[in-house]
Amino acid sequence: MFKKLLGLAPKLESDGSYSPSKMAIKLGTVDKTDFENITYEKYKGDKSKILVIFTEQKNLKMKNGKLFSTGNHPVEALLPMLHLKNAGFDFEIATPTGKPVVFEMWAFPEKDEDVKAIYNHFKSNFKKPINLANFVDSSFDNAASYAAVFVPGGHGSMLGIPEDKNVGKTLNWAHENDLFTISLCHGPGSFLSTTLNNQKFLYEGYKMAVFPDSVDEKTPMIGYLPGKMPFGLSEKLKSLGANIVNKKSDKTVCLDRKLITGASPLASNELGKLAASTLLKELN
């Protein structure tokens, strides 16, 4: 009751899950982003497609059994997409089984016209994405048409994605065909899929920026999460041989070989700029 009075109690949703408290929304989200509308020299080559793997799941179970109402973070998905679209790239939107993309709509920047525009532009694709299993079966021979695979963040990217064999196959496909892999915040949870069936971690020895476990540990205090995370993502990646370059949930971005990563929602604009400029430099 005390937390509720102070606006620190997570909000109970109709399905029994919890979205962030009023205080957490105030401290942890924005109504307008720092997107920079840069004019790029557009890419006009054949490798114009970027596969974007979203989660189709919503409720992440915490250690205490409570469900966090999550999904993909809209800023972490849409700001990088804005930069890449402005740079001349197009997207294929996918989820593991073709069910609709789930966003953390409580984090949507309602006063940001650029974000609204790209969300509305791809709204039908978000509602009816391609099935990643079908992509694996039918599109791997078309690697010459693709520039990158992008896995946006949001705690929802730790739902089903890390355990999905087709995510692992897709990341290996991108690696083997010299495509870029782009991710940020909790999106690198997808990298765990490369260890399924006792395979060696694909990104052992790579530098990467990932959302810090230390911040996830603290956010239940302000009601962002309704409990402690089921496991620490950055520590898990470190244990597999990743070199995490950030300690804070800040604007840090990192390029190591063909892997482009960012630390948090705050890094979304910087990640988009880095991804767009890097792809253009490499492919033009």
- CA separation for the pair 10, 67 (Å, rounded): 11
185 is catalytic: yes
Across the beta sheet with 59-61, the strand order is 11-12, 18-19, 67-69, 59-61
Q: Is residue 250 part of a domain?
A: yes
- CA separation for the pair 266, 269 (Å, rounded): 7
Cβ proximity of 164 and 135 under 8 Å: no
Q: Which of 185, 222, 271, 280 is catalytic?
A: 185
> Hey, which residues does 255 pair with through a beta bridge?
260
Mean pLDDT of the chain: 96
CB atoms near residue 106 (< 10 Å): 17
The percent of residues above 90 in pLDDT, for the chain, comes to 96
pLDDT at 205 over 90: yes
> Hey, which residues does 180 pair with through a beta bridge?
148
The pLDDT, as a whole number, for residue 2 is 45
Q: What is the pLDDT of residues 56-106, one digit of tens each?
A: 999 999 999 999 999 999 999 999 999 999 999 999 999 999 999 999 999
The pLDDT, as a whole number, for residue 3 is 55
Confidence of residue 142 (pLDDT cuts 50, 70, 90): very high
Strand pairing report for 259-262 and 253-256: antiparallel
- Contacts of 197 by beta carbon, 8 Å cutoff, 6+ apart: 165
Cβ proximity of 159 and 70 under 8 Å: yes
Q: Is residue 91 part of a domain?
A: yes
DSSP readout, 38-76? Answer: -------SS--EEEEE-----EEEPTTSPEEE--B-HHH
- CA separation for the pair 152, 74 (Å, rounded): 9
Q: What is the pLDDT of residues 13-59, one digit of tens each?
A: 999 999 999 999 999 999 999 999 999 999 999 999 999 999 999 99
The owner of tokens 């205490």 is 64
- Please give the torsion angle defined by the CA atoms of residues 262, 81, 127 and 163, in that order, rounded to the nearest 10 degrees: -30
Q: Is residue 194 part of a domain?
A: yes
- CA separation for the pair 121, 130 (Å, rounded): 16
Q: Is residue 173 part of a domain?
A: yes
> What is the H or E stretch that residue 180 is in?
strand 180-184
Q: Is residue 121 part of a domain?
A: yes
Q: Is residue 22 part of a domain?
A: no
Q: What is the pLDDT of residues 1-22, one digit of tens each?
A: 545 555 688 999 999 999 999 9
What residues make up the domain containing 155?
A: 49-56+80-209+228-283
Q: Is residue 257 part of a domain?
A: yes
Helix axes 113-121, 74-86, angle to 10 degrees: 80
- CA separation for the pair 162, 37 (Å, rounded): 33
CATH of the domain at 103: 3.40.50.880
Cβ proximity of 263 and 244 under 8 Å: no
Q: Is residue 71 part of a domain?
A: no
For the chain, the domain total comes to 1
Of 268, 253, 261, 273, nearest to 115 (Cα)?
268
